[in-house]
Amino acid sequence: MTTTDRKPRVLSGIQPTSDSFHLGNYLGALRQWVALQDTADAFYCVVDLHAITVDHDPKVLHERSRVSAAQLLALGLDPERCTLFVQSQVPEHPMLGWILGCETGFGEASRMTQFKDKSSKQERTTVGLFTYPVLQAADILLYQTDQVPVGEDQRQHLELSRDLAIRFNGTYGRTFTVPDPYIVKETATIKDLTDPAKKMSKTSSTPKGCLYLLDEPNQMRKKIKGAVTDSDAEVRFDPENKPGLSNLMNIYTALGNTTFEKLEAEYAGRGYGDFKGDLAEVVADSIGPIATRTKEFLADKAELDRILERGAEKARIVASRTLAKAYKKVGFFAPAAL
RNA sequence: AGGGGUGUGGCGCAAUUGGCAGCGCAGCGGCCUCCAAAGCCGAAGGUUGCAGGUUCGAUUCCUGUCACCCCUGCCA
């Protein structure tokens, strides 16, 4: 069963909660997804089930899921080299979620800090938001995932997934692979362009702080040029004293083929204006095409939906096998055929 | 579960007896600045939680409903 030289199975998901992913998503995670297609058996998921844990509009959600998938394809995910699907097309997720929910202690779930964060910001809090990490565990365990790329904010949830896998295996016999965190090569997190103390996020207090992949090139240029800096004029990488500028340098080195040293040398004696102008072009040139390709994918919705359906079918081959095992272990009947 | 309170732009709040829904902050545009910040100028932003009712007219009064907060009770 276990092949020694098989690629590690990797799973990662992203919520379709905005009209466009942003530069922080891209440089922090999505670009990594593209790379992992070659070194891993990668499963990528647009997690629309998770998106309704907070208020949502049905039409908007549906469209965003599609736009999200189109963007993922546009930025380099290849359905031939990875398994890309929308979570709601794979019913095994909530089915396993229920089982895992019954293995999760109430206190254990109560300790999830992201729930505390999010629920305090919502007018009303649903049970769905509370059990979110359990569904996330199902997302992961369903695919016998070896590694999960995680940022700091998801560490606790992955820890829960591991605990549940270990507990379930211990109680019912070996069923799930226990997932390990995949530590992404130290890429600097991209900060809000108007407030480098904060991570770039769609919930930024100002739209200028977050650069979206689907922004018009001129909008991108404007956001880069409007980014906060400092009262100095020296282009030097110094996150302590020059957080705004250093953030821009991070973006520059991530997208352009250059280093901090080269940048410092190149802009020695010149102002931030020049630096920003050049960076704006780098950003527009490298990110701009993603929007163009996204529009192409969206232009043929039937084909896009076919791609997603094929992805879901591939996913279900694995997911249904794991679910069947879990069903049997806990004493359920197999789902009836239609 | 009972009693009370609250619900108005993104946020914090106003609106006399029922009479054109306003203010501050944030956000947006412009000037300034090597760029940005600060400062100055400008424009915009609303189904008053939701559903009914009374009225010529409802943010305001009535009924219902939903959400959140406080008190009491219930449960342990």
Q: What phi and psi values does residue A230 have, to the nearest 5 degrees?
A: -155, 180
**Whether the Cβ atoms of residue A190 and residue A30 lie closer than 8 Å to each other:** no
Distance, CA of A133 to CA of A111 (rounded, Å): 11
Residue A5 pLDDT: 65
**Whether the Cβ atoms of residue A215 and residue A19 lie closer than 8 Å to each other:** no
| Residue extent(s) of CATH 3.40.50.620 domains in chain A | 9-187+301-330
Protein CA at A50 to nucleotide C1' at B34, angstroms: 46
Q: Which helix (H) or strand (E) holds A248?
A: helix A243-255
User: Nearest nt to A126, CA vs C1'?
Assistant: B67
Cβ-based contacts with strand B at under 7 Å: A 123-125, 194, 205-208, 222, 225-233, 244, 270-274, 276
Q: Is A148 helix (H, G, I), strand (E, B) or coil?
A: strand
Residue A48 pLDDT: 95
CB atoms within 10 A of CB A72: 23
Distance, CA of A103 to CA of A169 (rounded, Å): 11
Residue A203 pLDDT: 85
Predicted TM-score (pTM) of the model is 0.91
pLDDT tens string A158-178: 999 999 999 999 999 999 999
**Strand B footprint nucleotides (protein C-beta < 7 Å):** 26-29, 34-37, 66-68
Residue A188 pLDDT: 78
| Feature table: binding site of A for ATP | 15-17, 24-25, 151-153, 190
Query: Helix crossing, A127-141 with A113-121: angle to 10°?
Result: 140
pLDDT in 10s for each residue of chain A, 338 residues: 555 568 999 999 999 988 999 999 999 999 999 999 999 999 999 999 999 998 888 888 999 999 999 999 999 999 999 999 999 999 999 999 999 999 999 889 988 988 888 887 787 888 899 999 999 999 999 999 999 998 878 889 999 999 999 999 999 999 999 999 998 776 778 999 999 999 999 888 789 999 999 999 999 999 999 999 999 999 999 999 999 999 999 999 999 989 999 999 999 989 999 999 999 999 999 999 999 999 999 999 999 999 999 999 999 999 999 999 999 999 999 999 88
Can you tell me which residue has its alpha carbon closest to the C1' of nucleotide B10? Answer: A205
User: ipTM greater than 0.90, yes or no?
Assistant: no
Nearest to A280 by CA among A259, A256, A244: A256
Contacts within 8 Å (CB) and 24+ apart, A276-281: A276/A224, A276/A225, A276/A227, A276/A248, A277/A225, A279/A224, A279/A248, A279/A251, A279/A252, A280/A220, A280/A221, A280/A224, A280/A225, A281/A221
Residue A117 pLDDT: 82
Residue A122 pLDDT: 80
Told to judge if A276 belongs to the known catalytic residues of this protein, a careful annotator would answer no
Q: Going by C-beta distance under 8 Å and a sequence separation of 6 or more, which residues neighbour residue A314?
A: A83, A85
CB atoms within 10 A of CB A221: 19
Q: Of residues A59, A185, A202, A242, which has the active-site annotation?
A: A202
Residues in chain A: 338
Can you tell me which residue has its alpha carbon closest to the C1' of nucleotide B67? Answer: A124
Told to judge if A314 belongs to the known catalytic residues of this protein, a careful annotator would answer no
Protein CA at A299 to nucleotide C1' at B10, angstroms: 33
Domain A217-296 has CATH 1.10.240.10: yes
DSSP state of A28: I
Nearest to A305 by CA among A107, A63, A137, A112: A63
Q: Of residues A7, A59, A116, A118, which has the active-site annotation?
A: A118
Distance, CA of A328 to CA of A308 (rounded, Å): 29
| CATH, domain A9-187+301-330, list 3.40.50.1220, 3.40.50.620, 3.40.50.2020, 3.90.79.10 | 3.40.50.620
- How far is C-alpha A144 from the geometric centre of its chain's CA atoms? 19
Surface-to-core class of residue A269, CB atoms within 10 Å of its CB (0-12 exposed, 13-18 middle, 19+ buried):
exposed
Told to judge if A199 belongs to the known catalytic residues of this protein, a careful annotator would answer yes
Distance, CA of A238 to CA of A261 (rounded, Å): 12
| Residue extent(s) of CATH 1.10.240.10 domains in chain A | 217-296
Residue A152 pLDDT: 78
